[in-house]
């Protein structure tokens, strides 16, 4: 059994499409949408009627790392897969993970990543991601997966406002052998469509460099605000309100 975990916050424009792609995935798995108290209709759209796989939504405090950790706690899978809400998975995703983890030496990994669009910009970023993967450099948008036992032993994601995925990957790579699955996720090009190419490139290089030099993530977060189509960017900087001590679980029908 595999658990596919999708963290969301104000993703009503994207999560429905992502869940529709997951619905076409073959194999046995569950889907958990970890919503950070969205103020739009993300949660309502996530509950697709008659979803073909076990689907739950948990509503928790906002913060991608915390949302993913909480979803992992309530999940049942022996392997955990973390997917972004603007990412489309291929139908053979679960089959490829099961095949990779059949080798006991493999502890986890990620997927090949393709950026949506057909311009030179998308082709360049697709190439750049592939070029860095042999060096163990990848991020959450490429669908990180890991054995549950190891995820728990590592303490999950650290509650960082940014670079939480990269920090987790650095620890994961030190634990053993990872693989990059040769079936491609397709992720949105919305960041440079919304913010512009040069601003996006500058923020990526600047943040990665400063983080590698030891600058705390809390200082870097101001240069990398979330981008969500259909929602004002200013919402990203508004402190999240806690939904209270109870986690809301909503099973599919």
**Amino acid 209: pLDDT:** 76
Neighbouring residues of 173: CB distance < 8 A, sequence distance ≥ 6: 136
Q: Answer whether residue 214 is part of any domain.
A: no
Q: Answer whether residue 86 is part of any domain.
A: yes
Quote the CA–CA distance of 161 and 61 in Å, as a whole number: 13
The number of distinct structural domains making up the chain is 1
Q: Domain containing 92: what range? A: 2-190
3-class state of residue 104 by DSSP: coil
Quote the CA–CA distance of 18 and 10 in Å, as a whole number: 14
Q: Answer whether residue 73 is part of any domain.
A: yes
What CATH number corresponds to the domain at position 37?
3.90.550.10
Q: Answer whether residue 225 is part of any domain.
A: no
**Amino acid 247: pLDDT:** 36
Instruction: Evaluate if residue 250 carries a pLDDT over 50.
Output: no
Q: What's the pLDDT tens digit per position in 122-138?
A: 888 889 889 999 999 99
Structure token pair of residue 86: 């603007």
**Amino acid 240: pLDDT:** 36
């Amino acid at each position: 059994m595999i658990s596919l975990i999708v963290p969301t916050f104000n993703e009503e424009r994207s999560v429905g499409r992502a869940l529709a792609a997951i619905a076409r995935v073959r194999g046995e798995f569950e889907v958990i949408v970890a919503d950070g108290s969205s103020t739009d209709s993300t949660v309502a759209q996530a509950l697709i009627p008659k979803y073909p796989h076990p689907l739950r939504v948990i509503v928790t405090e906002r913060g991608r790392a915390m949302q993913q950790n909480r979803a992992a706690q309530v999940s049942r899978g022996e392997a955990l897969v973390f997917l972004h809400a603007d990412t489309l998975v291929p139908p053979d995703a679960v089959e490829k993970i099961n095949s990779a983890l059949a080798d006991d030496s493999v502890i986890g990994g990620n997927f090949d990543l393709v950026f949506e669009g057909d311009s030179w910009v998308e082709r360049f970023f697709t190439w750049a991601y592939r070029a860095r993967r042999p060096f163990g450099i990848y991020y959450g948008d490429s669908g990180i997966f890991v054995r549950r036992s190891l995820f728990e032993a590592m303490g999950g994601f650290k509650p960082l406002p940014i670079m939480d995925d990269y920090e987790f990957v650095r620890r994961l790579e030190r634990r053993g052998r990872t693989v990059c699955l040769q079936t491609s996720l397709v992720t949105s090009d919305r960041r440079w469509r919304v913010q512009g190419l040069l601003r996006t490139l500058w923020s990526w290089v600047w943040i990665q460099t400063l983080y590698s030099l030891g600058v705390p993530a809390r200082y870097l977060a101001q240069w990398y605000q979330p981008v969500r189509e259909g929602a004002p960017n200013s919402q990203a900087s508004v402190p999240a309100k806690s939904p209270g001590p109870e986690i809301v679980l909503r099973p599919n029908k």
